[in-house]
Structure 1
Amino acid sequence: MRNKLGRFADNEQRYNIVQQGKEFFEAAKGKWNSEHFKNENDIVLELACGNGEYTVGLAEKMPEKNFIGVDIKGSRMWVGSSQAIDAGMDNVAFLRTQILMLEKFFGESEISEIWITFPDPRPRDRDEKRRLTHTRFLEMYKKILKPGGWIKFKTDNTGLFDYTLELLQQRDDIKSHVFTKDLYEDEELMKDHYGIKTRFEAKFYALGEKIKYMKFQFKDDD
């Protein structure tokens, strides 16, 4: 508890963490480029970012883009925030909020790409609406993504992956949909991976689980 309280105190002072109680938290929508990053570079989201391994890892690989990790767990995002600060990275931010609230913080077409990395699979039927690839989340992503923006999804959970595949196949607004059920054996799609592993990915891969991956775009509105 003491460690968490210390992290929470740090978060309150950190520019790269946007959370309730800070002025920008209430004014962020549509202003990430102009007021936070102070550039016009593309913005990439990592949802349910946890410790922020992907947020920081991608930002290190692509300094020409801005990266925002979204999660509700402030103690976890403190880890990624610390790594970014220690490395002097100004293209990394973290937003502490429920993912269901994304439209409060991002305007239409403000985001260029979304990563969903090893989310809670929510296997019970009664929790279906809480899955980050459920229709209600997809509709939010569609609004905040720029035309042609990619959604990239990685998981070890076969049930969640198959559920998402079936859901996308039922939609008529999906294009450029590619996927693999064994990422580490797919030479082409491995290029998207950048050699970055989340804590959960490393754990399950070591246990022999195959890593599933897909990416897709929404069709442009006519």
Structure 2
Amino acid sequence: MGRNKLLRFKENEENFNVVQEGKPSFETIKGNWKEVQFKNNNPIVVELACGRGEFTVGLARENSEQNFIGVDIKGSRIWKGSKIAIAEDLQNVAFLRTQIEQLEKFFAPKEIHELWITFPDPRPRDGDEKKRLTSPRFLEMYKPMLDEGGIVHLKTDNTGLFEYTLELLNLREDITNLEHTFDFYQSSFQHEHFGIKTRYEKIFSDKGEKIKYLRFSFK
């Protein structure tokens, strides 16, 4: 392991806005994010597979009345977002280092107001369907964590994943307020996102890929 990674891991251990194994809050944060981490009662917005945290931090800059949590297993990635948030004194940002499959261990029922799935691995092979972050397995995990009227967002460049998700959602009876576009930057939705782009989104956009977006709630 490189020296830079070791230094980043050490800083994550010290940074107050990183929740990870080895810290007391890692075992007790479920149901207590607002009280323990943010010390307010503002709504919680979670980004899955947040990477370096560009989107999480970007949303936090624009929405001081909400709390934002980026989730990723890569400590060297969330270190970047953590450092930026601390440098800018963004008290409404935190990062959770864990596998997304373990998400329900860290969020109580109705604790999340919005959930963002931004440019996830599309897992294109049929055998990998269960690993897609919009598969039935994951949807069932997200559902109880969201409060009444809570919103799930998906943003992706991958047409296959997007069509798979749309088809799946249209077949479910517990989905409401489903809206979508196959060309985000030619839609009315773009103005709601403050122009924030992840590193991967910039790469795909520069290649001419159209960005797809959808959002929905559970009944």
Give me the CA root mean square deviation: 0.6
Which secondary structure does the structure 1 equivalent of 2:9 belong to? helix
Counting only pairs closer than 5 Å after superposition, residues 1-222 of structure 1 correspond to structure 2 as 1-186=2-187, 188-219=188-219
Q: Distance in 2 between matches of 1:36 and 1:80?
A: 16
Inter-partner Cα distance in structure 2 for 1:107 and 1:27: 11
Shift of 1:192: 2.5
Aligned length: 218
Match of 1:211, as an amino acid? Answer: I
Q: For residues 91 and 206 of structure 1, what CA distance do their matches in structure 2 show?
A: 31
Gaps of at least 5 residues in structure 1 are none
How far apart are residue 127 of structure 1 and its match?
Answer: 1.0
Structure 2 distance, partners of 1:210, 1:193, is 16
Measured in 2, the distance between the counterparts of 1:173 and 1:191 equals: 28
Q: What is the percent sequence identity of the aligned residues?
A: 61
TM-score of the pair, normalised by structure 1: 0.97
Find the residue that maps to 1:67 and give its secondary structure.
strand
Alpha-carbon distance, 1:191 to partner? 2.3
* Paired amino acid for 1:71: D
Cα drift, residue 83 of structure 1: 0.6
Q: CA deviation at 1:140?
A: 1.2
The Cα of 1:86 is off from its aligned counterpart by: 0.5
Amino acid at match of 2:215: K
Secondary structure of 2:47's partner?
strand
Give the TM-score normalised by structure 2.
Answer: 0.98
Q: Which runs of 5+ in 2 are unaligned?
A: none
